[in-house]
Structure 1
Amino acid sequence: MDILREASLGCPADLLQRGPPVAAVFKDVYAAWVPACRRVTANTFSSELTELVANTMLVQRISSINAVSVMCKEINLGADVDDVSPAVGKDERLGSKLLQAGVGFGGSCFEKDIRNLAYLAKELHLDINEDQRQRFARRVVRELNGSLRGKKIVILGFTFKDGTNDTRNSIAVHVIKDLASEMRQEIAVFDPGCAAADILEEVRRIGLSTVQMERVKISAGWRWCIRGPSAACILTPWRQFHGRGLGNRPTRPAKTAKSGAHVFAARGPDGSLRELSILEIE
Structure 2
Amino acid sequence: MKLTVIGTGYLGATHAVSMAELGHEVIGLDVDQAKIDALASGEVPFHEPGLPELLSKHIGTGKLRFTTSYDEAIPFGDVHFIGVGTPQKAESHAADMRYVDSAVTEIARAAERDCIIVGKSTVPVGSAARLQELARENSADGVRVTLVWNPEFLREGHAVDDTLTPDRMVLGLETDANGQYTEEALAAEKVLREVYASQLAANIPLIVTDYQTAELVKVAANSFLATKISFINALSEITETVGGDIRTLADAIGLDERIGRKFLNAGVGFGGGCLPKDIRALRARAAELGVDQSVRFLAEVDDINLRRREHTVQLAVQQLGGSVHGRDIAVLGTAFKPESDDVRDSPALDIAARLHSMGAEVHVYDPKANANAAKRYPRLDYVDSIEQAVARAEIVLLLTEWKEFRELTPEQLNPLVRECTIVDGRNVLNPDQWINAGWKYMASGRSISR
TM-score bracket, normalised by the shorter chain, equals 0.3 to 0.5
What's the TM-score once normalised by structure 2's chain length? 0.31
